[in-house]
Structure 1
Amino acid sequence: MTTFEGLVAGLAVLFGIVAAGSTVPVLPTGAAVSATAVVAAHRSPLALLAVVAVGGIGAYCGDAVTFAICRAGGEALTRRLRMLRHPVRLTESIRERLHRRPVTALLVSRLVPGGRIPVLLTAAIVGLSWRTFVVSNVAACALWSATYAAIGLLGRSVFPQPWQGVVAAIVIVLVVTQVAGWIRSRREARLAATPPG
């Protein structure tokens, strides 16, 4: 297998992981982009740009499928999944963010562990148009992919061997994910303790 064929195969696997993980959030999509960026950076700057592009496209495709499912399921899906523990307050907060700054809301939802599905579900419930979603999510997914590629490059700059950079990128992503999840759960606990109104 030539270097080019290896790169194409790696990008195809990256696309599959990110697209599937963006639809069914069980795969570590950020870690996949970070690890692939480390390996690509050892090959060429163009390979690194391809990783950012493919990661963003995979995330975009997965988000589009998730948004379509959320639009089809709507409030009934919300009740069945019980994803929004405080639906009225949370929906109002997300609705306001989505209408004021859709790119920021979608980007932050991608970066916060467990934040993407509730935001996409709320966007579907409050009637965010496909046009707004399509345009706003392009920037959000591109920024997300670039952020995780940068995390991978951070690991690469510290370690001389690609495999060490890959391990470092995965560890960094997992630590950031755990800390962000802890902060989110603390915030939800505070929100639950605050009386509505």
Structure 2
Amino acid sequence: MSGDTRFDLWYLIALAGAVLVGAVLPVLPTGAAVSAGAVLALHNNPIGLGGVLIAGMAGAYAGDLIVYAGCRFGGERLAKRVGWLRDNASLDALRVRLDAHEISVLLTSRLIPGGRVPVLLAAGLAGYPWERFALVDLAASSLWAAVYMAIGLLGYALFDEPWQGVLAAIVLVVLVTVLSSLVQRARRKRAAAKSDSE
């Protein structure tokens, strides 16, 4: 095994680990890590893109399974202690949406910044079937990794230097996150104003 191959392998293991930690304790910008990994893979070894996709998906999937298992078996007390559960009212609304549109809610929750943990809480605390969750979340984690890898590819396409592409990918991820948060906040305000007027 060559030095470059060994480095690539350790880099992918570190990427998967960072995404896993960020999925369990949402403090790391895991999407930015996958986007930056895609830029670096394209500059150094385009074949490594598959590894970045697999590492990002595997870390996200393992982290989601840990959070789901914690909610399922640890209940609300563990979720509150870890800091996953803050608002019971929105959790109840998510349970209703999960019952009505389970697959689409689970698939899109990973793509909406701040949407994944509440949906995992709702699924885990409501006793959503483990096998079905594992299957749908595999698709959701794969979709998430592909989307953030595509953001990295866009950063690579815009700039020649790897550091510029990585910076562009991180800025794009931050912009997507901020815009999504603003849209969600506007929707909540509109819904609150509508319910107040009724």
TM-score normalised over the length of structure 1:
0.89
Structure 2 matches for 1:31-70, cutoff 5 A? Answer: 31-70=32-71
Listed as ranges, the gaps of 5+ residues in structure 2 are none
CA distance in 2, matches of 1:34, 1:62: 18
CA distance in 2, matches of 1:189, 1:59: 31
**CA RMSD across the alignment:** 2.1
Task: Tell me the equivalent position of 2:178.
Answer: 178
Aligned length, in residue pairs? 193
1:96 paired to 2:91: no
1:113 paired to 2:113: yes
| Identity across matched positions, percent | 45
Task: Tell me the equivalent position of 1:82.
Answer: 86
Deviation of residue 61 (structure 1)?
0.3
**Does the 8 Å contact 1:84/1:90 carry over to 2?**
no
CA distance in 2, matches of 1:189, 1:77: 30
Task: Tell me the equivalent position of 2:153.
Answer: 153
Listed as ranges, the gaps of 5+ residues in structure 1 are none
Q: Which amino acid aligns with 2:190?
A: R
CA distance in 2, matches of 1:28, 1:129: 29
Deviation of residue 76 (structure 1)?
4.6
Q: CA, structure 1 residues 111+84, in 2 after alignment: closer, same or farther (shift >3 Å)?
A: farther
CA distance in 1, matches of 2:162, 2:87: 38
Deviation of residue 25 (structure 1)?
0.4
Range with greater deviation from structure 2 (139-148 or 69-78):
69-78
Q: CA, structure 1 residues 134+90, in 2 after alignment: closer, same or farther (shift >3 Å)?
A: closer
**Does the 8 Å contact 2:91/2:118 carry over to 1?**
no
Deviation of residue 62 (structure 1)?
0.3
SS at match of 1:176: helix
Range with greater deviation from structure 2 (184-193 or 118-127):
184-193
Task: Tell me the equivalent position of 1:72.
Answer: 73
SS at match of 1:187: helix
CA distance in 2, matches of 1:154, 1:193: 38
CA distance in 1, matches of 2:14, 2:80: 34
CA distance in 1, matches of 2:91, 2:5: 49
